[in-house]
Amino acid sequence: MTERQKYKVLNKYSGFELREYEACVVAEVSSLDTYRDAAQNAFGSLFGYLSKGNSKAEKISMTAPVIALTEHGLDSQAWKISFVMPADSVLENLPTPTNGRVVLRDLPIEKCVALSFKGRANLEILKRKESELRALAEENNIHLTLETRVCRFDPPFKPGFLHYNEIVIPIQ
């Protein structure tokens, strides 16, 4: 089974969870494009890094989720697409990417709200789920940042109705 990004559930609310994500390292590609195109265009560079496209020519295990992050709303043309590195990864010990588009960075421990859903994650559904999560958080007096993360856990060849996804938003 594919390793998943580590977190602990701090509280379960009706429709969403409050989580604390462990610090981790991500391999990331920035893209000035639509959500769909950014995700498609960045995937090859990121997968290449994992598949020996690095200074040590070593294979790095794939983890889940693939994260698409924006601070400008889901209609944004500014995205960061990330792969979370395996849990024991340390930035200084990871091989340098040979593709200049791929950047490695540390993410600190952070608290976020998360809403899970099944099905193919098209933009219309993502907007609806993001609005739902923001409204639920507001009802529970949880203040969120402007950042939105679309977290996809399944490969594109898996039937769409079986896809597992999450909207994750950091709290202020």
Taking CB atoms within 8 Å and a gap of at least 24, the contacts of 151-160 are 151/65, 151/66, 151/67, 151/114, 152/39, 152/65, 152/66, 152/68, 152/121, 153/2, 153/4, 153/64, 153/65, 153/66, 154/64, 160/119, 160/120
Residue 121, pLDDT score? 87
Whether the per-residue pLDDT at 1 is higher than 80: the answer is: no
Q: Which residues contact 67 (CB under 8 A, 6 or more apart)?
A: 26, 80, 81, 82, 83, 84, 149, 150, 151, 168
Cα separation, 122 vs 16, whole angstroms: 20
Number of alpha carbons in the 13 Å side-chain half-sphere of residue 131: 6
Cα separation, 31 vs 56, whole angstroms: 26
**All domains in the chain, ordered by first residue:** 3-170 (3.20.80.10)
Residue 63, pLDDT score? 94
With cut-offs at 50, 70 and 90, classify the pLDDT of residue 79.
Answer: very high
- List pLDDT tens digits, range 98-123: 999 999 999 999 999 999 999 988 99
Amino acid 128 reads R
Residue 156, pLDDT score? 82
Q: What is the mean pLDDT of residues 90-102?
A: 96
Residue 77: both structure tokens together: 């043309």
